[in-house]
Amino acid sequence: MTASISSIVRKKLTGAKVGIPARHINFNINESAPRYFYGDNATATLFFAMLSAFFPPGERFFMESVRNFRDQVDDETLKAEISGFMGQEAIHGREHDRLNELLAERGFDMKAPEKFVKMGLSILEKLPASTQLAATTYMEHFTALLGEQLLNDSEFQAKADPEMIKIWQWHALEELEHKNVAYDVYETIGNSQMERFLAMVASNAVLLPMLTVTWGWMVAKEGKLGSLSDNLKGLNMLFGRRGFVTQILPKMPLFNFKRFHPKAHDTTELENVWREKLFGDQGVLLDEFKNKEAIQNASAI
């Protein structure tokens, strides 16, 4: 009888049940959205275009690094969280692929960042599997901070095209929902602070130069490299005293603290606010949310 009850519980425990639902979102981005969708500025817009090109191969790297250790996880809740994480990341990759196709149609060079990021990730893939997972936890730390900043930053929201920003808001919310999963898997296999430090150094050494060069290349291809007014405005919006990225950077070293854990920084209230804004009864993404009923039913079981 006990075994039967346990079996039923395991069947009911899903990503949706543990707060990490794989929402099937199908964005139909309006082709009339402005070319420079952030601050009417090429330099800043191409920074986010570069990030969008990073996401599909990056998400696949994250998923594979977790999948390498999935069979070592016995905790039923964490197993369900992994399923939710995998589902969310797969859909992120798909929707950013679609966004990248739209940006390519507009003439942005989306092949260059994809090529360079794949090169960088191929280097990280030569590391031991546990170090790859540690690198994923570091990059997930960054994407969680990025997501939190995006959802909190009213200036960013005011400068972004209201239609184009929706994909970023959805992605940001789900990064916060699953921010602990890769780290909890890493804790399951040991969690070495030294390995985390080495993974952080390797990730920065491999990816940051490539991303910087790629961003410069994209701005140059757009004919805006050396356009001082555009470059200075974009750099100030991103890296100025109150710039979008500037507000993230001071929190990055928290990753290497001995007692670091993603959930130690509680974003539950922010997540609740944005779940309602995006998917509540008046949510702005209801038309794009294709499996809302299925997720509601799964969460209620």
User: Whole-angstrom distance between the N-terminal and C-terminal Cα of the chain?
Assistant: 20
Radius of gyration from C-alpha coordinates of the chain: 19
Q: What confidence score (pLDDT) does residue 262 get?
A: 97
Can you tell me the distance from the alpha carbon of 51 to that of 212, in angstroms, rounded to the nearest whole number?
Answer: 11
DSSP letter at 245? Answer: T
Q: What confidence score (pLDDT) does residue 8 get?
A: 44
Instruction: Please give the structure tokens belonging to residue 105.
Output: 């149609």
Can you tell me the distance from the alpha carbon of 132 to that of 269, in angstroms, rounded to the nearest whole number?
Answer: 31
Q: Which amino acid is at 287?
A: D
Instruction: Please give the structure tokens belonging to residue 190.
Output: 């040991």
Q: Read out DSSP for 200-241?
A: HHHHHHHHHHHHHHHHHHHHHHTT-TT-HHHHHHHHHHHHST
Q: What confidence score (pLDDT) does residue 29 get?
A: 79
Q: What confidence score (pLDDT) does residue 296 get?
A: 75
Q: What confidence score (pLDDT) does residue 301 get?
A: 61
Tens-digit pLDDT profile for residues 117-135: 999 999 999 999 999 999 9
Can you tell me the distance from the alpha carbon of 177 to that of 147, in angstroms, rounded to the nearest whole number?
Answer: 10
232 close to 224: Cβ distance less than 8 angstroms: no
Q: What confidence score (pLDDT) does residue 5 get?
A: 44
**Positions of the chain with pLDDT under 50:** 1-10
Domains belonging to the chain, first-starting first, are 33-300 (1.10.620)
Can you tell me the distance from the alpha carbon of 127 to that of 122, in angstroms, rounded to the nearest whole number?
Answer: 9
Does the predicted model carry a pTM greater than 0.85?
yes
Can you tell me the distance from the alpha carbon of 176 to that of 244, in angstroms, rounded to the nearest whole number?
Answer: 17
